Amino acid sequence: MKQHANILVIDDEEIIRKSCLRILEPLGFKVDTAPDGPSALSMLGNRRTYDLVLTDLKMPNMDGLEVMAEILKRFPGLRIILVTGYSTRETAASALKMGAFNYVEKPFNPEVLGTVVREALEGID
């Protein structure tokens, strides 16, 4: 697993962004946050500066599946975890089929989030 991996968290809820920071930074990850898809895509720009992206599914302007599709178009192979409070089998299957590495349901357990993030970063140098 890559030490000091850079993670981008995209969620329109400030409490979720702060929770991810509180959970992931003590594990040694550098975490940036964005309140929506367009901001996240702007942060990503044209250079791959993140090792992992966590994105909410339901957001205004651009939902998580749209954000994921755009990120994967620019950066094929970048690992993405979908975070959703609206998990259904269909949504999860669709996200995984589109290229998501995994998904986490809200409200998430800090240990579960840490485990899923570590699994996503396995094999990344």
The predicted structure's pLDDT at residue 42: 95
Confidence of residue 2 (pLDDT cuts 50, 70, 90): low
**Burial (Cβ within 10 Å: 0-12, 13-18, ≥19) of residue 26:** exposed
For residue range 5-19, list pLDDT tens digits in order: 999 999 999 999 999
CATH of 6-121, one of 3.30.160.70, 3.40.720.10, 3.60.15.10, 3.40.50.2300: 3.40.50.2300
The predicted structure's pLDDT at residue 115: 96
Provide the whole-model pTM: 0.93
For residue range 63-121, list pLDDT tens digits in order: 999 999 999 999 999 999 999 877 667 777 888 899 999 999 888 899 999 999 999 99
The predicted structure's pLDDT at residue 91: 79
Q: Could you tell me the residue ranges of all domains in the chain?
A: 6-121
For residue range 42-62, list pLDDT tens digits in order: 999 878 889 999 999 989 989
Residue 3 has pLDDT above 70, yes or no: no
